[in-house]
Structure 1
Amino acid sequence: MVEINNSFIINHTCLRIKDPKSIEFWTKKLGMKLIATIPFDSFTLYMLNYETEENKHLNWAEREGVLELCYNHGGMEEINNGNGEKDKGFGHVCISVDNIEIVQEEFLKNGIRFQKKLSDGRQHNIAFALSDYENYWIEIIENGINKQEGKTNISSYRFNHTMIRIKDPERSLKFYRSLGMKLFSKKEFPEAKFSLYFLGYDHDPNFKEGTMDFSVQSKKESILELTHNWGTENDSNFKGYHNGNSTDNGEIQGYGHICISCNDPAKFCKELEESYGSNLDWSVKFNQGKAVKDIAFIRDPDTYSIEIIPHNLMSDRMGKL
């Protein structure tokens, strides 16, 4: 049996970057704060977050809504943003804000490029910005936190979710539920033939899956969005999605992983092995990594990576920027 306690959160999403200058986009233009820098021999990790009164006393590894930017020393010639014709898989990250119309105005003034503005297309309540250098898509939605007419306050901003495309929702939902996640909500778009599944950790014993209202969901952080394009699960010619990490046949990297954090990952990983055995696809078993100990990496049915870490991981790096 796998025990899921109140310590379980989705901690961060990892994206590769071409240059450390990319950090300026996320901090100076989107308003995140650089909360930790973790150097290794061949790469450096930069941890960013929308810091709040509730999370500012926490280590980076026990916060929700953390963005990990991974810079491979020497840089990368190309970054796959996940939305081109080639190597499609990861879709976007999403921030939620208090007043989306004012935020779009401010972002445009700050030189942020947009893939989709509020006035474009059929959905006028969402927008998509593009990151500098790597062209990652950043969805923008409204959470309405302390909304004031004609104003925006960065204290309302949240790193809301990360979207990846999946082949078979039945298999994916079963897998993520085995990690203790719950289905927050589901949206179907019959005219475009795709469905969206929003998952995460909710420790309320009375929570009923699939019932979370958007007004609640938009205020949360570290949600996982699974996008299913209908028919892929039964299409023998469908080769699957790129997991962001593979370089087979000239594939280009970009997206790295999401990360689960809890108080006792060693116990969690042991219970997963005891419960599911060979059905699990571990790329790194707990405490067997080379660069970092006390972590593990497991792959989902589409081979996307999920890191598993303790809340106190590298707490000495907080504030060392």
Structure 2
Amino acid sequence: MSSTTSNPATYKFNHTMFRIKDPKVSIPFYEKVLGMEKFRESAGSDFTNYFLAFPAGFGDANLSTEEKTAKMFDREGILELCHNHGTEDDASFKGYASGNEEPGRGFGHIAVTVDDLDAACKRFDDMGVKFKKRPEEGRMRHIAFIYDPDGYWIEILANNRDVPHK
């Protein structure tokens, strides 16, 4: 056993990985719909990982792609999209389990805060984004859920919960 110590107070939640069917569909969704930026691509022999994050999380909007990659493990809130080559052209490929249906219920969703929930939902409507739940539906009127292209749920909520939802 090592004699060094590790301080959990320094730990950070760095990233979450989703398997995706087609990067030509998923990457534009996260960039155009949610405003993330792809800052790194890492190819393996039969897969490619794409790393996306909100640009403000890097602290400096003028960083190069290389500088962002160098800071990747020093920040939180990264989304890794893993594309297993060939799934995009496989007619028999049924997609990945989102974690919200059987079989494989377990993982639920990621969450993104927005400046104005109603305005964001209107923007998503205008972009043709599919909703799981709108703010006016159900008991929880202060959140929405949208689907990404692979069926993963994304919770949308206002970053200022003191602003009333209409």
Query: TM > 0.5 between the two?
Result: yes
Contact 1:289 1:295 (8 Å CA) reproduced:
no
Alignment-derived partner of residue 185 in structure 1: 40
Q: Which has the higher strand share?
A: 1
Separation of aligned partners in 2, 1:293 and 1:210: 41
Query: Aligned-pair RMSD on alpha carbons?
Result: 2.2
Question: May I ask how many residue pairs the two structures share in their alignment?
Answer: 158
Aligned partner of 1:212 among 63, 68, 80: 68
Query: 1:186–1:210: 8 Å Cα contact kept in structure 2?
Result: no
1:151 Cα deviation from its structure 2 partner: 3.1
What's 1:283 paired with?
132
Cα gap change, 1:185/1:150 in structure 2, threshold over 3 Å: closer, same or farther?
same
Other structure's SS at 2:14 match = strand
What is the deviation of 1:268? 1.7
SS at match of 1:273: helix
**CA separation of 1:304/1:209 partners in 2, compared to 1, >3 Å: closer, same or farther?**
farther
Higher Cα radius of gyration: 1
Distance 1:255 1:210, change over 3 A: farther
- Which ranges of structure 2 fall in alignment gaps of 5 or more residues? none
Q: Which runs of 5+ in 1 are unaligned?
A: 1-104, 107-148, 315-321
Counterparts in 2 of 1:308 and 1:295: CA distance versus 1, 3 Å: same
- Pairing 1:303-318 to 2, within 5 Å after superposition: 303-313=151-161
Query: Per residue, is there more helix in 1 or in 2?
Result: 2
1:297, 1:305 within 8 Å by CA — same for their partners in 2?
yes
Give the structure-2-normalised TM-score: 0.85
Partner SS, residue 267 of structure 1: helix
In structure 2, the residue matched to 1:160 is: 14
Runs of 4+ in 1 over 4 A off after TM superposition: 207-211
Which amino acid in structure 1 is aligned with residue 125 of structure 2? E
Structure 1 contact 165–228 (Cα < 8 Å) conserved? yes
TM-score norm. by structure 1 comes to 0.46
Q: Deviations over 1:134-160 (max 9, x none)?
A: xxxxxxxxxxxxxxx933222220011
Question: Percent of aligned positions with the same letter in both sequences?
Answer: 39
